[in-house]
Amino acid sequence: MLILTEKIGQSFLQRNYKKMVFLNLLTNQIIVSRLDAVSGNKTNYAATMTLDVCIQRMSDVDAVAIGGSIGRTFRLYAEINDDIRKGDKLIDTSTGNEYRVTGVSIPANLGNFEHLEIVIERLD
């Protein structure tokens, strides 16, 4: 192991360990649907991909601070390369809950731990 660490480099191992830990937190599977033109002015949501993510309820204070609804606003964490955009509709495959994406950001100053932090609102 010592020889492997010297050849690969400590930062490489640390970066991959952080990535493995992050991937283990992605316990929800969602279907991403995006508006697509059907014909003329008509649009409809079309499923574009299935992704592994982490969905967590946002605190009431944070939800109110960003203009969300208490108990219906959530944070979703996803891999940096996942194609999720504002306005997308998400369906949690395990619960059947539907969400609308209201904001997408990449948190700064996280070093080798880049990910997407997405604000979603549950649709009733």
Q: What pTM value is reported for the model?
A: 0.76
pLDDT band at 5 (very low <50, low <70, confident <90, very high): very low
Please determine, for residue 4, whether its predicted confidence score (pLDDT) is greater than 60. no
The domain locations on the chain are 2-123
Span 7-33, average pLDDT = 68
Residue 63: alpha-carbon gap to chain centroid: 17
64 contacts 4 by C-beta, under 8 angstroms: no
**Segment 82-107, tens digit of pLDDT:** 999 999 999 999 999 999 999 999 88
Span 4-24, average pLDDT = 55
- Other C-beta atoms lying within 10 Å of the C-beta of residue 112: 12
What contacts 77, CB < 8 A, 6 or more positions away? 25, 26, 53, 54, 56, 115, 116, 117, 118
Is CATH 1.10.10.10 what the domain over 2-123 is classified as, yes or no? no
Please determine, for residue 16, whether its predicted confidence score (pLDDT) is greater than 70. no
Higher-confidence position of 61 and 21: 61
74 contacts 92 by C-beta, under 8 angstroms: no
